[in-house]
Chains A and B, each alone.
Chain A
Amino acid sequence: MKEFQPSSSRSAPVKSVGLIAWLRENLFSSIPNAVVTIAFISTLAYYIPLLIDWAFLSANFKGETEAACVNDGACWVFVNAWSYQFFYGTYPPEEVWRINLTIVLLILVIIGSFALPKSIRLKTSIAAWLLLPIVGIALLDGRLLGLEMVSTDLWGGFTLNVFMATASIVVAFPFSFLWALGRRSDMPFIRSVSVIFIEFFRGVPVLSLFFMGSVMLPLFFAEGTNVDKLIRVWLVLIFFMSGYMAEVFRGGFQAVPKGQYEAADSIGLGYWQKIMLIILPQVIKISMPNILATFVMLFKNTTFLLIIGIPEVVQTLQTALSNSYWLGGHALEGYLFVFLVFWGSCFGMSLLASRIERTMNTDKRD
């Protein structure tokens, strides 16, 4: 009998394309294409130097007051002078270490969620995430830890956006999971309550929810009780977020094959064991891109808080723009700064999420 020898593999043919060939193929393939390309390039060639000149070459970097802005370009002095307020609001400067410490704790928890050894990672990071809002509030407020109290009226700036978004998602996460489970329940009562809740908070604009939280909600509290405005807004964000995330999770649940439930049943796991050990980890993995998208949406929506007068970063910027010492029209610099800060954090989160997806992806062969 002939012996079968597998033939050795060859490498795939290299498709060599030079720069000129690439240009001809993609940018100048027809006359209309060539016209559009040239028009586009000349527009860029005209505006980019102007932008660079405005932002860097003739910009003002040094100085303390508006008087220092003598050049034609951007007045970065404005951003620099107000940077404390943009980040920390009116939080007392001698207590600002508390905000910094909270941020450091947040970063540590994020890092710990991957870097800890696998044996303790899951339990430790879940506990850390749930403790984080409590520790954060205790630190920022100060009373629980015997520090000087800093009233929530003084909290503000970009860090407030970060804290509101993070504290909301951490609390909303378990709730939204329960709502999603409820929506799949066989019990009509639980199912209808879940559907009504989810559809209400998905169907109402977040702005009107904020107004409801700041104006209507106090009407329901007993007379004389005054629930802090930030707490009311926090509740609104939690409800809003859990409505959205419940739908994200529902999609995840539907994507887990029925066989997984059956296999869990067949080895005798109880309902909650099955959900927590088998289904939830797969649901989270499947839903990870959408969870992040929802979080980014919520994070950006925290700028709407300016509507009800909470001094988050955009509100602070508007205060700064109307300050009588800075009336020279620095809106462009200010909004560009806010734009860059938000874009930077959201892009960072995207990178983080793709990293999480890679660590969780055990389906593919190595």
Chain B
Amino acid sequence: MTAISSNSHSEDVIVIENLNKWYGNFHVLRDINLRVKKGERIVICGPSGSGKSTMIRCINRLEEFQEGSLVVDGVEMIEDVKNIETIRKDVGMVFQHFNLFPHLTILENLTLGPIWVQKKPKAEAEAIAMKYLERVKIPDQANKYPGQLSGGQQQRVAIARSLCMNPNIMLFDEPTSALDPEMIKEVLDVMIELAQDGMTMLCVTHEMGFAKKVADRVIFMDGGEIVEENEPEAFFSNPQVDRTQQFLEQILNH
């Protein structure tokens, strides 16, 4: 659905090889290897502190890493990558706490990127913003401020804000963890719709229903390593590693 930049021919949009990261002396990511194909939907789960958020935050370089290589859309992410803003335009991100800009209206939140980063005229940016607001089903909230919206609505605005930049890849960092139980579904519905449209998605989430429904692969992380990865069917019914089994028992049977 999205316009793909120059490297549309390459199959893998994200290639992570032997990625290692330390916070001081704390080894948070250990020899991560991951390839993501265009259009693939990946769900990443694991206990807190397992490095799952840190890993996806490396992809748009909100975090730096010390060893290994990470290629996004054919661009190697190295120490002083000059066009980091270009990568970030291609990679959308949705945060646990929405992180909408509280001093701007919903419409201004959405048009900020298109106007200032993509240099689009204001009218065009607003048209794009309204298109995505309709897609997340809250066009009537355009002129309100984030503080006036419910958590679920704010998170849908955050998704729309990322989509306005026309990204090739979407990263979701526990998008439903800060929501009231009744609001989780409205956000997941938007994400499912996005998945059906063929967006490349990496979701850190514990919504196992969502994983079963849309994921091509489920990855389980613990202690900074990828412990197990598999197709959702096999992952849930027949985990290969005892740690995975233990984790699934904890979150599925409570």
Contacts and interface: CB of A to CB of B under 8 A. Distances in A.
Interface of A: 257, 259-260, 262-270, 273, 277-278, 281-282, 285, 360, 362-366
A205 to B, nearest CB: 37
A269 B148 contact: no
Given A266-B162, A268-B85, A366-B148, 10 more contacts: A257-B99, A262-B93, A268-B113, A268-B165, A269-B112, A270-B85, A273-B117, A277-B116, A363-B102, A364-B147
Interface of B: 60, 62, 85-86, 88-89, 91-93, 95, 97, 99-103, 112-113, 116-117, 145, 147-148, 158, 161-162, 165
Contacts of B116: 269, 273, 277
A41 B176 CA distance: 62
A263 B147 contact: no
Contacts of B101: 260, 263-264, 278, 282
Nearest to A276: B116
The listed residue with most B CB atoms (<10 A of its CB), out of A262, A263, A366, is A263
Interface of B is mostly: mixed
A260 B162 contact: no
A267 B147 contact: no
B112 A267 contact: yes
Given A260-B101, A360-B103, A268 B148 contact: no
A362 B162 contact: no
B113 A267 contact: yes
A364 B149 CA distance: 10
A267 B161 contact: yes
A360 B161 CA distance: 23
State the majority secondary structure of interface residues on A. Answer: helix
Contacts of A285: 103
Contacts of B147: 362-365
A360 B148 CA distance: 14
Contacts of B62: 262, 265-266
B112 to A, nearest CB: 7
The 8 closest A-B pairs by CB, nearest first: A263-B99, A267-B113, A259-B99, A266-B93, A268-B88, A268-B89, A362-B145, A363-B147
A281 B103 contact: yes
A262 B93 CA distance: 9
Contacts of A281: 103
B103 A259 contact: no
Contacts of B92: 266-267
A267 B161 CA distance: 8
Contacts of A264: 101
24 contacts: A257-B97, A263-B93, A263-B99, A263-B101, A265-B88, A266-B60, A266-B62, A266-B88, A266-B162, A267-B89, A267-B92, A267-B113, A267-B117, A268-B86, A269-B85, A270-B85, A282-B103, A285-B103, A360-B103, A362-B102, A363-B102, A363-B145, A365-B148, A366-B148
